[in-house]
Structure 1
């Protein structure tokens, strides 16, 4: 963020002119440079969002692989080139090297004609020759190899490069504009139009998604040599030979560096013949709240690539996210938001278009179950082997932990998994071995029941907070007779004043947390997680596991989890898939399988956080 301070002098110039004129200086080049900086950045951002909307683009992706965190980090400061070009523009404005800059003209068709001629006659050849030179030793290793280290082309990859590469692009974009102004035919409209068209074509070529129908090229064959495609650029990016043009493949054709495979690749990609294969595992997630909805992978990459947190910078976008929520509510459809490869198998995350608070609206229950059911049937039709349900999608009051769908569709080939067996295992393995008693809230829930029954077998006293004696007794009777004494019903938080291990399955207010003794640790399996109000206590995160090291294509964090870490129910579905288990994991947790699932998770390289 600190690099944006470089634009401070431009902001100061605009402020000065505003003060002098008493109104916004619409005729100020300083203002236009700032606006152009913002709009150009949005051009790349919009292309980034579109290319990551897998529910729109997955059938027309050139390369099916996803972007890794290493590529995200390498391209983190992708907009540095915009800063450099804006500062170069400010230098030109401050020292009027171009006479046409002194007078602002909104539109001049002569300037467009001159800029087009200079682009074709100067920018394209210069970029082509310079690009070929950059692929020769030693220039490639010093100035261009980092650009090709990005495994998958991406709109932000187009903006990522060394200062030499940025200066080369600045020359290619600036020469036509300079020529137009030198001849007195420059205009504000030309600056905006040419710069945005340049950025648009760059981002489109790197988008990894085909957007132009091959039928257009069939109808007008010369267009093949005038406009490149993402397939055309992708071949160059992956193989580092051929297809060196800026936007026009004609130069590659003339100079003998054209890779003819690009045309057929473009056709097969656009027609979906090379579409992303059907996933073998799906995690069916949901949005927690409006703020976290802006953490989706197709929004801001700088946010989705780090654990979610509420940032003040997001507040202005809250109305947009709220409107998007209403749109999703009206036009409900489960969509793909991210994917990754593990052991060579494609894993995808789908999202039900429902927000956390909607799950607690009685009127929404039927609609939510309908969306989950459609997702399960769609996965079954696609050949998905395991579908794992996220926290609220398997709510006991909603659908009995998934039993509703399994009972309704007994012939399902896809295995429906709530993953709570591994969630229970993670929580239980967090508890120190020397603990003699625990306080359990949410004690009669699916997870609470399994945890209580498991701990009592270890002769650990479990204070189960519940007002329902009937539900408590039902759980107590499930325990072996010799261990039933370790399950104790309590009805008030005061009963846990001497217990320093709290297992939280129900949200705790600050008033309820004050009953915990100093030094208490709060283990959590409640969504959303509780807020840590006590400074003299410690708070665990939601149960989670780190994926194996051979995971590929993962570039976004799962809610508040760190990179490569997923919720335990997600990990539970992964283990179910990797083990090839053929049973549904729905309804009540089988306590006898907790250790089995835990050992299987460790065997496959998943590790506790």
Structure 2
């Protein structure tokens, strides 16, 4: 919100919250009813198409958001290197979040996307105009004179008036009350283009309505002139705020005057970093005429265009989980990616055809893709995604294709000069690839270090146990991490009780005689602290006493079945402020929490450790723990009211 919010800052339907879409419902129902109950010339196709056009605008904007975030993660043509944080994500999606307020407030205020607000506002105006203006309905599909008139009116009065309106908005009075909210985003995203108070949107619509109303009054309006003009505005707005340069040089070489008729993303990016230059809407010639052209415009354009893909020091290799997880990626729905809640949303059921289509695309696109980038001190970090879902990792016939994708990713990282590749989620499965050891065996000369992060995962679990605990109950599938946790606890003199006989026998075989005296078979009263893995069942959880603390050691969190018990997060740590460009949540973890496996890869590169940590090799847990604290990563706290034993 602006520093001194002026009149008409909020949208009229703000009190409705997520129910704001009902204001459009009567118009949509009426236009649909009239269309299907009319015949021949009486059918009003133009009014009927308003709602599908609004949906197209939302899809168009989302395409740009996804493309922008993907290209910024890769680095190709990136303009501004500075990262985006949760504060910007919240500010650009909810007016109730003040810059000085906590970013966590966004979680409780719901999802009120400003991008939807301006589309909703435009839709209402279109419906009202179609119902009230003479010649505003029953428009033909195409009229050449109307299209030409729209173009000329935009190049003339619209661009001219916008230039001076924009300069006026940078005057202290209007800037502090309205336009400063838009300029709070130094690093822009496509959605930044519509982050304005309601009053500004009214002013902009009046400008853009000049060609629309003129063609209606002159009887030259058509469906294509309306839809084409608004799509052009959306296209140029999104492109100008995408933070990567994509306009090739040859376009200006073949047609030099185009330089004055079409801006580039780098041109408008300078307006957000310098503030007092490059005021033009989409056509820069008024900045040339009035001397407000930034002198670095051409240089920034060329350097941004020549910028190649970023070479990362650390790659975190993860995969898709559920079919809906693709929307939770940073390149998906930004509002979902910025929250840890992974439960299905009602509106995701409405777009199940898109979900089905995404499953088909990922099944055909057999290579990893970049979804995220971070910077940690001098280290460059990226997250790559394997286009496979969790369920596929448990299918025997998918084992070879998945291993092939992981191996290709490792070799690609090797070729690019990456220092460390850490295997996330099920990419380090023991049954799949021997905890990553398969790839080191196949390629013994690898320079990139393959890390499964098991040492730090063990350290996080061990240090998550409340102080003073003398006995824990162990329940879960016995993995590399599970054995190491049991061994570490016994070494510290903490008794480890098992719920099932087979777990007791297998753990006893792995422990030496000095430690196995601390291994017990559970009987009677169960401890208040449980260390649990993937396969803990409902029956197991029902055996726990009230107030039990469940601490998972697995990659995936257990299902929360007991409201009278406490569930710790999967092994994770709080990231330090030096980790930049963090504005999405890692799977189900809350904001600015990072899985121990991911952190381990960063530490491996930061410390310069030369060995692989995969297969049956595990980093010393005390060494990993101390390194994490030294680099600013912090453990998660235990609620004060959790019983210690």
Q: Same fold (TM over 0.5)?
A: yes
Tell me what 2:193 maps to. Answer: 158
2:324 to 270, 278, 291: 291
**Does 2:48 correspond to 1:43?**
no
1:404 to 438, 442, 445: 438
Q: Provide closer, same or farther for how the CA distance between residues 55 and 118 of structure 1 changes in structure 2, counting only shifts above 3 A.
A: closer
Tell me what 1:258 maps to. Answer: 293
**Does 2:463 correspond to 1:449?**
no
Stretch deviating more after TM superposition (547-556 or 133-142): 133-142
Q: Provide closer, same or farther for how the CA distance between residues 102 and 351 of structure 1 changes in structure 2, counting only shifts above 3 A.
A: closer
- Hey, what's the Cα distance between the residues in 2 that align with 1:203 and 1:129? 21
TM-score (norm 1): 0.91
**Does 2:582 correspond to 1:559?**
no
- Hey, what's the Cα distance between the residues in 2 that align with 1:402 and 1:602? 26
- Hey, what's the Cα distance between the residues in 2 that align with 1:13 and 1:455? 65
- Hey, what's the Cα distance between the residues in 1 that align with 2:383 and 2:55? 32
Q: Provide closer, same or farther for how the CA distance between residues 3 and 184 of structure 1 changes in structure 2, counting only shifts above 3 A.
A: farther
Maintained 8 Å contact 1:297/1:304: yes
Q: Provide closer, same or farther for how the CA distance between residues 137 and 505 of structure 1 changes in structure 2, counting only shifts above 3 A.
A: same
C-alpha displacement at 1:212, in angstroms? 2.6
Tell me what 1:78 maps to. Answer: 114
Tell me what 1:437 maps to. Answer: 471
**Does 2:361 correspond to 1:327?**
yes
Structure 2: gaps of 5 or more residues? 1-13, 94-112, 637-645
SS in 2 for 1:440: strand
1:15 to 22, 29, 32: 29
SS in 1 for 2:165: helix
C-alpha offsets along residues 449-504 of structure 1, whole Å, 9 cap, x if unaligned? 11111111122221244627874343123xxx33321124x5xxx74752332211
Maintained 8 Å contact 2:473/2:527: yes
Tell me what 2:606 maps to. Answer: 578
Q: Provide closer, same or farther for how the CA distance between residues 570 and 103 of structure 1 changes in structure 2, counting only shifts above 3 A.
A: closer
**Does 2:157 correspond to 1:122?**
yes
Tell me what 1:245 maps to. Answer: 280
SS in 2 for 1:101: coil
C-alpha displacement at 1:189, in angstroms? 2.6
C-alpha displacement at 1:545, in angstroms? 0.8
C-alpha displacement at 1:128, in angstroms? 0.8
- Hey, what's the Cα distance between the residues in 1 that align with 2:215 and 2:332? 37
Tell me what 2:103 maps to. Answer: none
What aligned pairs does 1:225-236 form with structure 2 within 5 A after superposition?
225-236=260-271
Tell me what 1:171 maps to. Answer: 206
Structure 1: gaps of 5 or more residues? none
What aligned pairs does 1:44-123 form with structure 2 within 5 A after superposition?
44-54=61-71, 58-76=75-93, 77-79=113-115, 80-93=117-130, 96=132, 98-101=133-136, 103-123=138-158
Stretch deviating more after TM superposition (376-385 or 311-320): 311-320
Tell me what 1:604 maps to. Answer: 631
Q: Provide closer, same or farther for how the CA distance between residues 20 and 147 of structure 1 changes in structure 2, counting only shifts above 3 A.
A: closer
SS in 2 for 1:157: helix
- Hey, what's the Cα distance between the residues in 2 that align with 1:472 and 1:102? 77
C-alpha offsets along residues 492-540 of structure 1, whole Å, 9 cap, x if unaligned? xx74752332211232222232222333221112343221122332222
Tell me what 2:258 maps to. Answer: 223
SS in 1 for 2:481: helix
- Hey, what's the Cα distance between the residues in 1 that align with 2:388 and 2:138? 54
TM-score (norm 2): 0.86
Tell me what 1:138 maps to. Answer: 173
Aligned length: 597
C-alpha displacement at 1:319, in angstroms? 4.2
RMSD (Å), alpha carbons:
2.5
C-alpha offsets along residues 108-135 of structure 1, whole Å, 9 cap, x if unaligned? 2221122112111100000011112222
- Hey, what's the Cα distance between the residues in 2 that align with 1:30 and 1:495? 73
Q: Provide closer, same or farther for how the CA distance between residues 458 and 30 of structure 1 changes in structure 2, counting only shifts above 3 A.
A: same
